[in-house]
């Protein structure tokens, strides 16, 4: 069957089971959008307000479904606008295929209108990228791109396609994708060796990360933890990968993690790390992290072994397989004393509650009130900053793929796009976006998308009128010199929402929070809630950068 390049793109997307793409049209992708018009009964295209929003939407779609996200943008600025979104996905190992148009082959390398070397630009933030100069290569490149994005440690792949290729005719034959099967590198002897280390230790803890969610290995992790009677701490990326109501869950680990997890890290004699990478936000002091503990690391990416922290033993392969192999090899154990010790630490190190105020709501109160209105399967999205950490501390996550946050890159402006992607993927669920006034100002243009598609997103702007996280660091480490973090903008987010065609509401203080949230959550319509919080609220506890739990800050002015 002879098709043009754009029809081949559409057919190849269908081969991969893609039914939804995000994007923004433009000159170099006119042919592709013409094909999308033709295939509109099979592929839904969600139009964003800005390509960055579309990239974050594809990312949110991927995180909450486990499928590969797809985003399409035109050449030049369309392509460069994707970069922050692609880098965000790369840092958090999220599978996204980005398709960009480019100028025609004969105009390439001539600084033509809207020409940019997007392959060169995106190289450090993609797993791989392609430029397809011949339509004969197109179908196979698309198939390869999906395979690369979804196999091993997942991540974004970019395909750049000159405009003439999208119009050229070529023979096309459908190919059914082969299931992705990640090679298990560790064998029985490795599992036995790891089990021997575990047997020799008395106070183990599990430090889990986003890999558990990415590998769909939550059930396998619960089995291991229960068999070992081993407490579990999660990185921010791992949230949802282990039910927080489980008796073995002890909290998030790292800079704004709990006192309990910090003490556990310092006092355990074994850390079993699963799908986590000892980032500087977890292992602030790489030398002292788990200083008295042996470390066993389970990961699919060999390059993560000994990258940040020296480990004692590694198990390599898909986490589902390595967790099963390890669980089989270990003995059923009970450790009541260790568990009791941990719960003692849990009772200490509590952060003091802020007194109730007429003028402000307390972020923890709002987060807990939202939790009372949501199901375990509802999706929580955040932007980046103080609000993100408060949600990671206080919201009770029970299921994988219910949490979307930019953990690695820390992209302010990520949230609304990601919420769009999550809501498009899950019309049956409620999506809640917690954002801050700083983050929301960055990409609130996507409110237009929320309104156009009438997406069920409850947007809660924790509005302190300051850039709170940076301001908190200025308080702690820069002598309270609040350089450019006190903008006190006058934006009325409720009115702004109305201008976009979205309902706007306000929370003034703790006493009206429940009522406003109750109304906001009563229907399936989008809403923006401007929630006033104090500019002096801090994220606590806090381990200062480069330090350990011994230097934990639990109180600030």
Partner 1 sequence: MENKQIIGLFVHNHPGVLLRVTSLISRRGFNIDSLTVSPAAVEGYSRMTIRISGDDNQVEQFINQMMKIVDVKNVEALPDDNSVASELILVKVKTDGQNNNDILAVTSKYHASLVNLGESSMTFRASGKPGEIDTLVSELREFGIMEMARTGIAALENGDNCLNKDKE
Residues serving a catalytic function are 51, 113-114, 163, 469
Q: How far is the CB of 128 from partner 1 (least distance, A)?
A: 4
**Interaction between residue 119 and partner 1 (CB under 8 A):** yes
Cα 299 to Cα 276: distance, rounded to the nearest angstrom: 8
The answer to whether 17 contacts partner 1 (rule: CB under 8 A) is: no
Of 402, 458, 407, whose CA–CA distance to 435 is shortest? 458
Residue 300 binds to partner 1 (criterion: CB under 8 A): no
DSSP H helical ranges for 231-335: 259-267, 319-329
Q: Is 123 in the site for partner 1 (CB under 8 A)?
A: yes
Helix H or strand E encompassing 459: strand 457-463
User: For partner 1, which residue of 67, 128, 394, 547 counts as binding (CB under 8 A)?
Assistant: 128
Q: Which stretch binds partner 1 (CB under 8 A): 86-94, 117-125, 234-242, 492-500?
A: 117-125
Site for partner 1 contains 140 (CB under 8 A): no
Greatest extent of the chain over all pairs of C-alpha atoms, in Å: 72
If the CB atoms of residues 62 and 300 are measured against partner 1, the closer one turns out to be 300
- C-beta separation of 396 from 244 below 8 A: yes
Q: Does 525 bind partner 1 (CB under 8 A)?
A: no
For residues 58-85, one letter each, b for 16 or more C-beta atoms within 10 angstroms of the residue's C-beta and e for the rest, the string is: bbbbbbbbbbbbbbbbbbbebbbbbbbb
**Cα–Cα distance for residue pair 464/467, rounded to 1 Å:** 8
Is residue 143 involved in binding partner 1 (CB under 8 A)? no
**Whole-number minimum distance, CB 126 to partner 1, in Å?**
10
Query: Which letter, b or e, does each residue of 430-464 get, where b requires 16 or more Cβ atoms within 10 Å of its Cβ?
Result: bbbbbbbbbbbbbbbbbbbbbbbbebbbbbbbbbb
State whether residue 204 is helix, strand or coil: strand
Could you say whether residue 108 binds partner 1 (CB under 8 A)?
A: no
Q: Give least dist CB 118 to partner 1, A.
A: 12
Shortest approach of partner 1 to residue 312 CB, angstroms? 14
303 binds partner 1 (CB under 8 A): yes
* Residue 67 is a binding residue for partner 1 (CB under 8 A): no
- Which of 416, 462, 422, 450 lies closest to 526, judged by CA? 450
How distant is the alpha carbon of residue 144 from its chain centre? Answer: 24
Strand partners, 139: none
Q: Is 120 in the site for partner 1 (CB under 8 A)?
A: yes
Q: Are 294 and 201 contacting, i.e. CB atoms less than 8 angstroms apart?
A: yes
Which one of 115-123, 162-170, 397-405, 470-478 is the stretch in contact with partner 1 (CB under 8 A)? 115-123
Number of Cβ atoms within 10 Å of the Cβ of 196: 12
Which region, judged by CB under 8 A, interacts with partner 1, from 123-131, 175-183, 195-203, 416-424? 123-131
**Between residues 78 and 155, which has the closer beta carbon with respect to partner 1?**
155
Nearer to partner 1, 140 or 306 (CB): 306
d(CA 509, CA 359): 6
Among 15, 223, 266, 301, binds partner 1 (CB under 8 A): 301
Question: Closest separation between CB of residue 122 and partner 1, Å?
Answer: 11
Residue 109, both tokens: 């390398």
Is residue 339 a contact residue for partner 1 (CB under 8 A)? no
Give least dist CB 266 to partner 1, A: 24
Stretch that binds partner 1, among 193-201, 296-304, 490-498, 506-514 (CB under 8 A): 296-304
| 148 near partner 1, judged by CB under 8 A | yes
Name the residue among 529, 519, 524, 526 with its Cα closest to residue 450. 526
Question: Applying CB under 8 A, does 307 fall inside the site for partner 1?
Answer: yes
Beta 204-208 vs 270-274: how paired, if at all? Answer: parallel
| Number of residues in contact with partner 1 under rule CB under 8 A | 14
Window contacting partner 1 (CB under 8 A); options: 85-93, 106-114, 221-229, 303-311? 303-311
- Out of 305, 351, 470, 540, the residue judged to bind partner 1 by CB under 8 A: 305
State how far the Cα of 256 lies from the Cα of 279, in Å rounded to an integer: 13
The residue among 226 and 301 lying less far from partner 1, judged by its C-beta, is 301
Question: Measured from the CB atom, is 91 or 444 closer to partner 1?
Answer: 91
What is the Cα–Cα distance from 347 to 325, expressed in whole angstroms?
35
Under the binding rule (CB under 8 A), the answer on residue 189 touching partner 1 is no
Neighbours of 110 (CB within 10 A): 9
Interacting residues toward partner 1 by CB under 8 A? 119-120, 123-124, 127-128, 148, 301-303, 305-307, 310
């Amino acid at each position: 069957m002879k098709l043009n390049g754009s029809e081949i793109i559409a057919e190849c997307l269908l081969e991969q089971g893609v039914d939804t793409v995000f994007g923004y049209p433009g000159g170099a992708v006119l042919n592709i959008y013409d094909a999308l018009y033709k295939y509109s009964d099979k592929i839904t295209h969600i139009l964003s307000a800005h390509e960055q929003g579309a990239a974050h939407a594809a990312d949110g779609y991927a995180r909450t479904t486990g499928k590969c996200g797809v985003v399409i943008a035109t050449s030049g600025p369309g392509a460069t606008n994707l970069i922050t979104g692609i880098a965000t996905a790369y840092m958090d190992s999220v599978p996204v295929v980005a398709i960009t148009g480019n100028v025609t082959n004969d105009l390439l390398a001539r600084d033509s209108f809207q020409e940019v070397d997007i392959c060169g630009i995106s190289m450090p933030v993609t797993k791989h990228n392609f430029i397809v100069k011949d339509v004969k290569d197109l179908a196979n490149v698309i198939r390869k791109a999906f395979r690369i994005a979804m196999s091993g440690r997942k991540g974004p792949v970019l395909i750049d396609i000159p405009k003439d290729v999208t119009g050229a005719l070529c023979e096309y034959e459908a190919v059914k994708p082969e299931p992705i099967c990640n090679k298990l590198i560790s064998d029985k002897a490795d599992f036995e060796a790891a089990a021997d280390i575990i047997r020799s230790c008395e106070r183990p803890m599990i430090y889990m990360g986003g890999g558990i969610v990415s590998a769909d290995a939550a059930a396998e992790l619960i089995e291991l933890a229960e068999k070992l009677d081993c407490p579990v701490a999660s990185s921010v990326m791992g949230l949802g990968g282990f039910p927080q109501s489980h008796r073995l869950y002890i909290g998030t680990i790292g800079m704004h993690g709990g006192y309990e997890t910090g003490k556990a890290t310092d006092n355990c004699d074994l850390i079993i790390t699963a799908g986590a990478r000892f980032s500087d936000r977890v292992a602030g002091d790489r030398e002292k992290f788990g200083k008295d503990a042996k470390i066993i690391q389970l990961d699919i990416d060999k390059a993560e072994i000994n990258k940040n922290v020296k480990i004692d033993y590694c198990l390599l392969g898909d986490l589902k397989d390595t967790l099963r192999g390890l669980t089989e090899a270990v003995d059923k154990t009970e450790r009541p004393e260790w568990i009791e010790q941990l719960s003692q630490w849990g009772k200490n190190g509590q952060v003091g509650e802020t007194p109730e105020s007429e003028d402000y709501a307390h972020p923890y109160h709002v987060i807990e009130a939202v939790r009372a209105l949501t199901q375990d399967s509802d999706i929580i999205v955040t932007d980046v900053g103080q609000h993100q950490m408060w949600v990671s501390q206080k919201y009770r996550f029970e299921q994988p793929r219910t949490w979307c946050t930019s953990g690695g890159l820390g992209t302010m402006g990520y949230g609304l796009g990601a919420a769009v992607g999550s809501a498009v993927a899950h019309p049956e669920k409620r999506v809640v976006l917690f954002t801050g006034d700083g983050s929301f100002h960055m990409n609130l243009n996507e409110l237009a998308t929320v309104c156009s598609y009438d997406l069920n997103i409850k947007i809660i702007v924790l509005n302190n009128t300051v850039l709170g996280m940076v301001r908190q660091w200025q308080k702690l480490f820069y002598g309270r010199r609040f350089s450019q973090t006190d903008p006190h903008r006058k934006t009325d987010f409720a009115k702004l929402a109305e201008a976009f065609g979205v309902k706007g509401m306000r929370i003034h203080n703790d006493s009206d929070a429940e009522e406003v949230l109750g109304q906001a959550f009563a229907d399936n319509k989008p809403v923006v809630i401007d929630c006033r919080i104090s500019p002096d609220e801090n994220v606590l506890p806090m381990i200062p950068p480069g330090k350990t739990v011994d230097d934990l800050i639990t109180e600030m002015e």
